[in-house]
Amino acid sequence: MKNFFDKRYPVTNALLAVTALVFLLIQVFRFGQTTTAYTIFEFGGMYGQVVRYDPTQLWRLISPIFVHIGWEHFLFNSFTLYALGYQLEPLFGSRRFFLLYLLSGIMGNVFVYFFTPGVVGAGASTSLFGLFAAMGFLRYYSRSAYLQLLGQRYTALLLINLALGLFNPAISMAGHIGGAIGGCLAVVCLPPRLEKQTFTAQQTGWALVGYLLLFFGLLFVGFLF
């Protein structure tokens, strides 16, 4: 237990703390109704129809990352974040890891907003799938045997979890796929700190343009319809 909440991983610890705090507040203030759609929405869940008609609700592209629906959802995602964060934060550095986590989650929530606007969604899995996909993507570009091995393992985890989602209607496939796409695009702009030259300036530019076009394109089309 001495390494639990190790000070060498400040971003991972902070993300876990915020996630736990939000979950605790839900349990305290909505006891007996903690998993209802209204409660999840009230505490920051994504609900595309509301965002479409009220652009001031765009903060919901971020807040669902920290909201979870029930104990199983919270514990599974928290444990996964703990395991991934303590492995990946040192590879990317705290700032880049935070941005990769955040940008993956945002893109996942944009997909939820656009493709399933009538469903209230929440959870860190949009960001976690972004981390899986980012490492899988790096596997094909990194010159490090260690990163290639990690990428192979993360690709397997990504595919297994995507397959499991096909058999569980409660899982947001839109959020998971969006998070994975966001992670792949973001990691080109935020490569591991020991391999900052993994991608060319042209590749970085195209990835940034691709992320922004997808982000604003889905938002814009969603507002129109």
Q: pLDDT truncated to tens, each residue of the chain (225 aa)?
A: 455 567 889 999 999 999 999 999 999 999 999 999 999 999 999 999 999 999 999 999 999 999 999 999 999 999 999 999 999 999 999 999 999 999 999 999 999 999 999 999 999 999 999 999 999 999 999 988 999 999 999 999 999 989 988 888 878 899 999 999 999 999 999 999 988 889 999 999 999 999 999 999 999 999 987
Q: How many domains does the chain have?
A: 1
In a domain, 133, yes or no: yes
Cα distance between residue 24 and residue 68, in whole Å? 10
**HSE-up of residue 175 (Cα within 13 Å, Cβ side):** 31
Count, in order, helices (H) and strands (E) of the chain.
9, 2
Domain of 116 in residue numbering reads as 10-224
pLDDT of residue 169: 80
Has residue 3 been placed in a domain?
A: no
Structure tokens at 36: 């209802």
Q: What are the tokens at 98? A: 């935070």
- Look up the pTM and report it: 0.94
Name the nearest CA neighbour of 109 among 225, 214, 224.
Answer: 214
Name the nearest CA neighbour of 68 among 103, 4, 9, 21. 21
CA distance 134 to 92: 11
User: Do residues 80 and 15 make contact, with C-beta atoms less than 8 angstroms apart?
Assistant: no
Cα pseudo-dihedral 204, 206, 210, 216, rounded to 10: 90
Distance (Å) of CA 79 to CA 109, 149, 179, 191, 222: 21, 22, 18, 24, 34
Q: Are 123 and 69 in contact (CB under 8 A)?
A: yes
Query: Is 118 domain-assigned?
Result: yes
Domain CATH for 174: 1.20.1540.10
